[in-house]
Structure 1
């Protein structure tokens, strides 16, 4: 196999060929993801899904036109559709051209092609101990060569080409984020959960903090029936010695963590804060911490009070 062409070099990440994703329409976008087997289609699919795209995997090429029609008449929930397609059927280019012609004023259709050099692809197939889908009775390299010939026309027509030869899965996900994330796409979605230790620690928590060092409002008769969402309980909890210091320092400690999550493409994080029953202290602390970190760039906050309704 010869070395990549100058065009391929120019399109490797962080460069790219054709139209940049920033130039794509802000609504009604259909992105077809295809390319060489082993070049990273699954990683790209997951990254786009994390960015809020509706991802359709392994769609037969013949279904592209109906999907484009659906996208043109759908609501905002299907404004961005990514379709992962295997080009080895040999019909993709024709179906793309026909679908684009038939779309009229419908959503714009763009094609992302993933490729890698022979050495990288051979190494990846050997790592998972699987044959190349086209190698038959030959070698992995035979299958790669056959696939390059079969996909050459599709690659030529692609809007964006990414060479993944030197990229690991995290770097490829970062490249997709840089291409397709918009200002409204959070880098990490954080769920702040209050809970009661007596009911068990949330099994999906990435980080756990303990608010039981604070006096328990349960033992204050006029506060017992209230919750940490009520002003009187919140003022009582946050007015205790060390409470605000803990909340503010914990929120500050989370800032570099959440920034690091974004750099590492960890798109979801669950932070759990517990007290005895999950009704007073942990609820008040979660509500306050959410206020403190909600303004951090690239962070979207949701709040869950797991045990608030328990007796």
Structure 2
């Protein structure tokens, strides 16, 4: 899609019910798009403003529940609108396997919009047949069969976020393995090989942001050679990720509870990246979690 400010950008977002259309629209809104769901497409031309300076990109969600939903008519209308020099229009279709959709509907106990008096599987089959022309016509197809909502959001950000001169967004986070793995991590470092400050009573209630904990971790002879290799890896890989037009990169450091070793490592890694010219965001998932002996097995 063109980023020219003289053209109105319109993204039509459709797909199978339950596949993630609402999630995609929420992410697009966060990216600066004007997001509208279930908008009557016959009124589409009314959204195309005449003032080029005030035009913001518009994401319009619609599906089988939208009033006047006839795929052939929608395609014909959009082709006419897309022929205008003032409009840059494209379509995103969000798909999902029928078995996964059936599982989602059965799990949430929500009624499928086309099931009516028949089983969920029948409604999914009918909707897939109805939407096939739009699926074939869409420029962008995202299959969410294996995606969580967070993973779908990341794909939408990478595909429809601003490009060009925008820098890659780098997030450095800490977490505790005992409290669950992070859902999205491109690079993950396990810091449990370091001596655990939790077992020092005077350090237990402190965190990796506190100087006594930092000194304890730095006294471990395993730290410096290992961290030097981690830093070299990050400085080697990040420019390569950026060269591949990655919009987001998530680097995670883990320890047992997520309060000491991982926090220290994330903060130190962020300093290394800042010195190299990156601008990382630092997040500590379990920093405020209560310290608990049963969790600290390692």
TM-score by length of 2: 0.53
Of 48, 63, 74, the match for 1:95: 74
Quote the residue 1:82 is aligned against: 59
Report the number of matched residues.
187
- How far the C-alpha of 1:96 sits from its partner, in A, is 3.9
In structure 2, what is the Cα distance between the partners aligned to 1:45 and 1:151?
A: 19
Root-mean-square deviation over aligned CA pairs: 3.6
Q: 1:93 to 1:298 in 2, by over 3 A?
A: farther
Q: Is the 8 A contact 2:94 2:143 kept in 1?
A: yes
Give the deviation of 1:130 after TM superposition: 0.5
Give 1:153's match in structure 2, choosing from 119, 125, 133.
133
Q: Hey, what's the Cα distance between the residues in 1 that align with 2:160 and 2:29?
A: 11
State the shift of 1:188 in Å.
6.6
Q: Is residue 2:109 matched to residue 1:129?
A: yes
Cα pair distance change 1:87/1:73, threshold 3 Å? farther
Q: Which residues of structure 2 form unaligned runs of 5+?
A: 172-208, 211-247, 251-270, 282-298
Q: What TM-score results when the alignment is normalised by the length of structure 1?
A: 0.51
Residues 109, 93 of structure 1: alpha-carbon distance in 2 compared, 3 angstrom cutoff: farther
Matches of 1:141 and 1:98, distance apart in 2: 31
Structure 1 residue runs of 4 or more that deviate by more than 6 Å after TM superposition: 186-190
> Partner residue of 1:6?
none
> Residues 24-55 of structure 1: CA distance to partner in whole angstroms, max 9, x if unpaired?
10133211000100000111112112222121
The C-alpha deviation readout for 1:158-209, integer Å capped at 9, x for no partner, is 111111101111111111122112246677799xxxxxxxxxxxxxxxxxx9
Write the mapping of 1:1-311 to structure 2, written as runs, cut at 5 A. 24-27=1-4, 28-67=8-47, 69-70=48-49, 73-78=51-56, 80-88=57-65, 89-103=68-82, 104-181=84-161, 182-183=163-164, 263=249, 296-297=278-279
Q: Distance in 2 between matches of 1:171 and 1:94?
A: 32
Distance of 1:186 and 1:37 partners within structure 2: 34
Separation of aligned partners in 2, 1:175 and 1:50: 14
- State the distance in 1 between where 2:135 and 2:91 align: 9
CA contact (8 A) 1:65 1:98 kept: no
Query: Residue 51 and residue 298 in structure 1: after superposition, are their counterparts in 2 closer, same or farther (change >3 A)?
Result: farther
